[in-house]
């Protein structure tokens, strides 16, 4: 007789739980923890967006929408993408509204991958990519980005990973967890590699509005010859502080969007109706809210980075998203050891770099989507912990020298 666990797919059984969620399940059981771990804006959804949702509920606008989403919202997204990227998508055939950007990524792979197709996945990156590729019967091929290259993909590294089985590549920029940004000149080099190849680009641009230091987001879809082999993924969670509304979208060539809609209609039916009406207001009238959040994040980013540098930790100067990815190699601890000890000894929760790929070893991810007071308290505790660890290391080295004498 089979046990309940025997009914679970072997593919799912072998899949690890998210390194982020697994760690924070422990953190949530400890009282008084200061968290820098969750990638969620600490701002309220703009009031006009909430007001629009309330109004549509009062008016009884709660029925299913089209599988691909409200035409009003798809039109708004089309206008937004043309304004931001300079690329025009036809609302009726080249856009789909999804349950968050994560569903859009899932749909993109399920609609395009055949068994054995390879997908190049740069790391460190968002934890879901590899597992979603595997669930779609694809094979993830990891491309390790490096701190000395500002965690950007280089043309040379990309060429090395391409085989005759390569079906797609993910471009996760601005990047979670590193805060890296691929600017126009960086993307141009990638386009040179891809322009004559039949490789689909999944461009995850969920942090596109959050860039700093005068830097601007650029999309590979805006380059000549790339629009028709790129799926642009974005959403409302990060830019408009709408994480719980669960709303994203994908833009791309009509045949691919049609295939994604086919999968979506069987799995989901449509994205939440109230969220869609609220998003119409967000994308039309809430640019000021984006600007205010960006300015606040930029201030926090600078405060946090200075804090890490002051305690002697190297820290890449993030240009996008709302994370820093400091190196903790100088402490002599692994990423997991550092995070576990920091949690239990100082009650500060951060995420091990290894949660985002093996090449994240020696780093931790810290979110600055928290109040400046919380950030300053956490930095003080982290500095105390780093000093303690270094003193321990010095003591151990001294003992070793004495024994060897």
List, as one string, the DSSP characters of 350-385.
-EEGGGG-GGGTTBEEEE--S-HHHHHHHHHHHHHH
Whether residue 116 has pLDDT greater than 90: yes
Q: How far is CA 98 from CA 66, 234, 268, in A?
A: 11, 10, 9
Q: How far is CA 132 from CA 45, 153, 173, 177, 389, in A?
A: 29, 21, 18, 18, 38
pLDDT band at 213 (very low <50, low <70, confident <90, very high): very high
Whether residue 401 has pLDDT greater than 90: no
Give the span between the Cα atoms of 95 and 39, in whole angstroms: 26
Give the span between the Cα atoms of 123 and 121, in whole angstroms: 6
8 Å CB contact between 360 and 335: yes
Give the span between the Cα atoms of 153 and 194, in whole angstroms: 13
H-helix or E-strand containing 111?
helix 100-112
Domains of the chain, start order: 4-44+288-394 (3.90.1150.10), 47-285 (3.40.640.10)
> Could you report the per-residue pLDDT of 122-175, keeping only the tens digit for each?
999 999 999 999 999 999 999 999 999 999 999 999 999 999 999 999 999 999
Give the span between the Cα atoms of 361 and 384, in whole angstroms: 22
Q: How far is CA 195 from CA 157, 198, 237, 258, in A?
A: 16, 8, 32, 24
Whether residue 405 has pLDDT greater than 70: no
Q: What local confidence, expressed as pLDDT, does residue 395 receive?
A: 63
pLDDT band at 18 (very low <50, low <70, confident <90, very high): confident
Strands 139-144 and 351-352: unpaired
Write b or e for each residue in 137-166: b if 16 or more Cβ atoms lie within 10 A of its Cβ, otherwise e: ebbbbebebebeebbbbbeebbeebbeeeb
User: Which residue, among 223, 230, 176, has the nearest Cα to 199 in the 3D structure?
Assistant: 230
In this structure, how many other beta carbons lie within 10 angstroms of the beta carbon of residue 384? Answer: 14
Give the span between the Cα atoms of 130 and 141, in whole angstroms: 8
Q: What local confidence, expressed as pLDDT, does residue 71 receive?
A: 98
Q: What local confidence, expressed as pLDDT, does residue 27 receive?
A: 74
Strands 166-171 and 118-123: parallel
Give the span between the Cα atoms of 132 and 102, in whole angstroms: 9
pLDDT band at 396 (very low <50, low <70, confident <90, very high): low
| Range 6-19 average pLDDT | 84
Structure tokens at 175: 């990047």
List the beta strands (DSSP E) in 254-396. 323-324, 348-349, 351-352, 364-367
How high does pLDDT run on average in the chain? 94
How large is the C-alpha radius of gyration of the chain?
A: 22
pLDDT band at 26 (very low <50, low <70, confident <90, very high): confident
Q: How far is CA 156 from CA 92, 149, 395, in A?
A: 38, 12, 44
Whether residue 399 has pLDDT greater than 70: no
142 in helix, strand or coil?
strand
User: Which residue, among 381, 374, 44, 368, has the nearest Cα to 176 in the 3D structure?
Assistant: 368
pLDDT band at 398 (very low <50, low <70, confident <90, very high): low
Residue in the block written with tokens 């509005």: 209
Give the least confident one: 26-40, 146-160, 345-359: 26-40
H-helix or E-strand containing 231?
strand 230-235
């Amino acid at each position: 007789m089979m046990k309940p666990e025997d009914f679970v797919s072997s593919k799912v059984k072998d899949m690890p739980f998210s390194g982020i969620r697994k760690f924070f399940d422990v953190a949530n059981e400890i009282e008084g923890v200061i968290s820098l771990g969750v990638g969620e804006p600490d701002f309220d959804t703009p009031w006009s967006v909430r007001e629009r949702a309330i109004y549509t509920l009062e008016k009884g606008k709660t029925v299913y929408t089209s599988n691909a989403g409200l035409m009003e919202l798809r039109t708004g997204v089309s206008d937004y993408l043309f304004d931001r990227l300079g690329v025009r998508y036809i609302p009726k055939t080249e856009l789909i509204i999804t349950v968050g950007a994560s569903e859009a990524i899932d749909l993109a792979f399920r609609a395009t991958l055949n068994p054995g197709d390879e997908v190049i996945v740069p790391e460190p990156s968002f934890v879901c990519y590899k597992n979603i590729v595997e669930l779609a019967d694809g094979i993830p091929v990891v491309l390790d980005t490096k701190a000395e290259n500002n965690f950007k993909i280089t043309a040379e590294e990309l060429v090395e990973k391409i085989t005759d089985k390569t079906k797609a590549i993910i471009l996760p920029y601005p990047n979670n967890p590193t805060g890296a940004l691929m600017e126009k000149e960086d993307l141009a080099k990638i386009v040179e590699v891809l322009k004559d190849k039949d490789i689909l680009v999944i461009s995850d641009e969920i942090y596109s509005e959050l860039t700093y230091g005068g830097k601007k987001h650029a999309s590979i879809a805006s380059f000549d010859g790339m629009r028709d082999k790129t799926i642009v993924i974005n959403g409302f969670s990060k830019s408009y502080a709408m994480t719980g509304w669960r709303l994203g979208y994908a833009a791309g060539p009509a045949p691919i969007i049609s295939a994604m809609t086919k999968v979506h209609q069987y799995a989901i039916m449509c994205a939440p109706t109230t969220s869609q009406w609220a998003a119409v207001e967000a994308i039309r009238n809430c640019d000021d809210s984006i600007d205010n959040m960006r300015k606040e994040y930029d201030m926090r980013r600078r405060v946090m980075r200075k804090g890490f540098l002051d305690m002697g930790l190297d820290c890449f100067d993030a240009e996008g998203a709302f994370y820093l990815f400091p190196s903790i190699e100088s402490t002599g601890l692994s990423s997991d050891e550092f995070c576990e000890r920091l949690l239990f000894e100082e009650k500060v929760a951060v995420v091990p770099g290894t949660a985002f790929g093996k090449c994240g070893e020696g780093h931790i991810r810290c979110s600055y989507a928290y109040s400046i007071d919380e950030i300053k308290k956490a930095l003080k505790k982290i500095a105390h912990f780093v000093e303690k660890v270094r003193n321990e290391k010095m003591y151990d080295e001294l003992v070793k020298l004495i024994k060897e004498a």
